[in-house]
């Protein structure tokens, strides 16, 4: 198993964010993580990246503790572009190179192999021409691809993506979907947090439904039922959720 | 013009003042890049004020005052973090109340300890009358700060840019947080020598902000920040010599002037830029 979480609880100063969350995800899979805002999606990500320590329970990545997995560069996190300061004075190349830091010596001086990994990753997301541009000058979709390139350059076996399809152009969406399939073929495990349900049906093999705990997980065809979704979204009528326009549709 | 620049150099105290303020300017300029990118201006203000009781106690006990400043600088930030975590009061409020509390403690200590500390020198700087011992201490602090910032350059940049990624590749962001704070406390002590506690935050913020308007590359930003900060320090000391006015005030005014120039005329980010960015 790539990711094993057993009865994981996380609380922030007594406020419970996640309780009894268990899930096992195999290598070479694309998994959708579905839940409302505040359901614990980012908390689960934080626990998997080692940003928060579970108060109870056990997490293993490639059979190892999170700290060890971090040292082996096993987990890559692709942030929401809104959470990144776009005025930051770094180029696209610099950002992708940050994916190699963990593999470098303490002074973080890039070797030839690091440059090759960065170049290769930029090529795969089709940003090689823009590599000298400041990260802030890219469009939302290009920026997202830059952070995906960073995860690819890191050669992580687990990729955590936070709302990757939020506000991206069609081209980026297509390119990312193709990349996910390639990465799955390489045996990577991709966990995608999203509240756009149509994406889940389109290309997630597995799905994890979450609302303060893992309600259900497994093959998309089995788990992605109207009943389960109603549970996930707190009893809203499932036809609202499973239709082509998602729950995000603004109120009239 | 040449005499204007050279005449001050005929005085030993002026040579010392120019060297020390240039050094301090450079060190604070380098650090200011991280402060502005991390959004720690308020933190810089807090730490620089909170070092006062440390400086006073160290003087009274005959210890190097950088030691006292360091303890109280890091202590104040720890206190801020603790109060923020354990109460419902918002962070900027906590920062405001903790640093003024520390500063007030310092003021009381100054008036209660029998020592020959001149409060105005600590508050407003005394670079024209800097002692040999203080110069040595400033050199040592500067070397330490620069060494740490250069060695951890990339890690600190990543820590400012995307701490979650830093964490996920096994970089200890908690340690980096305290390293940056420690360096900040030390730089505040160095800055105190040239412009005093009140204005030291200008040294820790303005050069970084000026440079940030001029470039989109971090390496260039650090060079520009250091350059503008050293230039402001040198010009400030010379102007204060000729105009017989507050040295600290002159240094910071020149710095503010340089920022205004960048604000108005920076090629890409100034308000009179030639090529407005195309965007939403």
CATH of the domain at B229: 1.10.3470.10
**Nearest chain A Cα distance for residue B154, angstroms:** 7
pLDDT at A10: 94
In DSSP terms, A18 is beta-bridged to A10
B183: in domain: yes
**Smallest CA–CA separation between B142 and chain A, in Å?**
20
Task: Give CA–CA dist B217/A92, Å, rounded.
Answer: 11
The CA distance from B21 to A77, in Å, is 43
Given A77, A94, A137, which is nearest B164 (Cβ)? A77
Residue B30 lies in a domain: yes
* CB contact (8 A) between residue B157 and residue A150: no
Among B88, B164, B209, B218, the residue to mutate for chain A (most A Cβ within 10 A): B164
Q: Which residue of B has its CA nearest to A162?
A: B164
> What per-residue confidence (pLDDT) applies to A239?
47
CATH hierarchy code of domain A1-74+157-171+187-225: 3.40.50.300
Q: Which of B169, B217, B223 to mutate to test the interface with A (most CBs of A within 10 A)?
A: B169
The verdict on a CB contact (< 8 Å) between A51 and B170 is: no
Residue-wise pLDDT for A127-173, tens only, equals: 999 999 999 999 888 999 999 999 999 999 999 999 888 888 888 98
**What is d(CA A242, CA A37) in angstroms, rounded to the nearest whole number?**
17
Subunit contact A73:B170, Cβ cutoff 8 A: yes
Query: Who among B165, B220, B277 is closest to A77 (CB)?
Result: B165
> What is the pLDDT at residue B2?
85
Number of domains in chain B: 1
The ipTM is 0.86
Q: Which long-range contacts (CB under 8 A, 24 or more apart) does B15-19 make?
A: B16/B130, B16/B135, B17/B127, B17/B128, B17/B130, B17/B237, B17/B247, B18/B233, B18/B234, B18/B237, B18/B238
- Count CB pairs under 8 A between chains A and B: 81
Quick check: is B83 in a domain?
A: yes
Share of chain A above pLDDT 70, in %: 93
Give the chain A residue whose CA is nearest to the CA of B269. A87
Which residues in chain B are closer than 8 Å to A153, comparing Cβ atoms? none
Residue B275 lies in a domain: no
CB nearest A75 (choices: B37, B168, B221): B168
The closest CB to that of A90, out of B161, B169, B170, belongs to B161
Inside any domain, residue B278 = no
* B37 with A89: Cβ contact below 8 A: yes
B273 within a domain of the structure (yes/no): no
CA angle A114, A116, A121 (to 5 degrees): 95
Q: Which of A85, A89, A154 sits opposite B218 (nearest CB)?
A: A89
B151:A107 CB<8 A: yes
Q: Which helix (H) or strand (E) holds B47?
A: helix B41-50
Distance CA B72, CA B102 (A): 8
Residues of chain A neighbouring B165 (CB-CB closer than 8 A): 76-77, 79, 98-99, 150
Q: Report how far residue B146's alpha carbon sits from residue B67's, in angstroms, rounded to the nearest whole number.
A: 18
Question: Which chain B residues are Cβ-neighbours of A95 within 8 angstroms?
Answer: 161
pLDDT tens by residue, chain B, 280 residues:
888 888 888 999 999 999 999 999 999 999 999 999 999 999 999 999 999 999 899 888 888 888 898 899 999 989 998 998 888 899 899 999 999 999 999 999 988 887 677 888 888 988 888 888 889 989 999 999 999 999 999 999 999 999 989 999 999 999 999 999 999 999 998 888 788 998 999 999 999 999 999 999 999 999 999 999 999 999 999 999 999 999 999 999 999 999 999 999 998 888 887 655 544 4
Residues from chain A contacting residue B153 (CB–CB below 8 Å): 108
Residues 6+ apart with CB under 8 A from A157: A2, A27, A61, A62, A74, A75, A187, A188, A189
Indicate if the pLDDT at residue A5 is higher than 80.
yes
Q: Which residue of A has its CA nearest to B217?
A: A89
Please calculate the CA angle B107-B186-B133 and round it to the nearest 5 degrees.
Answer: 80
Residue of A73, A75, A88 with shortest CB distance to B37: A88
Tell me the residue range of the domain where B205 lies: 2-263
Contacts of B147 in chain A (CB under 8 A): none
Q: Do the domain assignments include residue B159?
A: yes
Domain(s) of CATH 3.40.50.300: residues in chain A: 1-74+157-171+187-225
Among B164, B169, B217, the residue with its CB nearest the CB of A101 is B169
């Amino acid at each position: 198993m790539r990711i094993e979480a057993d009865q994981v609880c996380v609380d922030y100063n007594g406020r419970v964010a996640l309780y009894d969350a268990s899930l096992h995800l195999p290598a070479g899979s694309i998994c959708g993580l579905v839940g409302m805002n505040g359901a614990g999606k980012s908390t689960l990500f934080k626990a998997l990246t080692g940003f928060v320590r579970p108060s109870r329970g056990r997490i293993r990545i490639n059979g190892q503790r999170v700290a060890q997995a971090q040292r082996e560069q096993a987990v890559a996190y692709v942030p929401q572009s809104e959470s990144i300061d776009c005025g930051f004075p770094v180029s696209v190349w610099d950002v992708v190179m940050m994916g190699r830091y963990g593999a470098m010596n303490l002074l973080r001086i890039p070797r030839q192999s690091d440059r090759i990994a960065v170049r290769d990753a930029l090529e795969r997301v089709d940003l090689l021409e823009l590599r000298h541009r400041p990260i802030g000058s890219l469009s939302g979709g290009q920026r997202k691809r830059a952070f995906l390139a960073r995860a690819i350059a890191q050669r992580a076996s687990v990729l955590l993506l936070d709302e990757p399809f939020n506000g991206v152009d069609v081209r980026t969406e297509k390119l990312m979907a193709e990349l996910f399939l390639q990465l799955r073929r390489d045996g990577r495990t991709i966990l995608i947090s999203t509240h756009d349900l149509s994406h889940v049906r389109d290309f997630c093999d597995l799905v994890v439904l979450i609302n303060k705990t893992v309600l259900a997980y497994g093959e998309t065809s089995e788990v992605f039922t109207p009943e389960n979704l109603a549970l996930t979204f707190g009893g809203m009528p499932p036809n609202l959720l499973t239709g082509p326009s998602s729950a995000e549709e603004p109120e009239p | 013009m040449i005499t204007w620049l050279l005449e001050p150099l005929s005085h030993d105290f002026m040579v010392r003042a120019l060297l020390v303020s240039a050094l301090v300017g450079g060190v604070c300029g380098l650090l200011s890049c991280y402060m502005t990118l991390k959004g720690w201006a308020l933190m810089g203000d807090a730490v620089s004020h909170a070092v006062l009781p440390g400086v006073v106690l160290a003087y009274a006990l005959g210890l190097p005052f950088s030691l006292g400043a360091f303890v109280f600088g890091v202590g104040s930030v720890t206190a801020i973090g603790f109060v923020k975590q354990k109460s419902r009061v918002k962070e900027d409020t906590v920062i405001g109340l903790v640093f003024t509390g520390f500063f007030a403690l310092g003021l009381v200590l100054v008036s209660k300890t029998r020592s020959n500390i001149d409060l105005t020198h600590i508050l407003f700087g005394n670079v024209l009358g800097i002692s040999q011992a203080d110069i040595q201490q400033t050199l040592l602090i500067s070397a330490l700060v620069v060494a740490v910032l250069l060695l951890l350059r990339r890690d600190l940049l990543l820590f400012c840019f995307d701490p979650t990624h830093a964490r996920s590749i096994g970089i200890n962001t908690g340690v980096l947080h305290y390293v940056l704070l420690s360096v900040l406390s030390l730089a505040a002590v160095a800055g105190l020598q040239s412009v005093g506690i009140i204005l030291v935050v200008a040294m820790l913020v303005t050069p970084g902000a000026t440079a940030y308007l001029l470039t989109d590359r971090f390496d260039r930003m650090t060079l520009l920040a250091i350059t503008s900060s050293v230039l402001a320090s040198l010009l400030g000391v010379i102007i204060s010599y000729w105009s017989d006015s507050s040295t600290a005030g002159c240094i910071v005014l020149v710095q503010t002037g340089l920022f205004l120039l960048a604000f108005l005329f920076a090629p890409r980010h100034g308000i009179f830029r030639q090529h407005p960015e195309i965007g939403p």
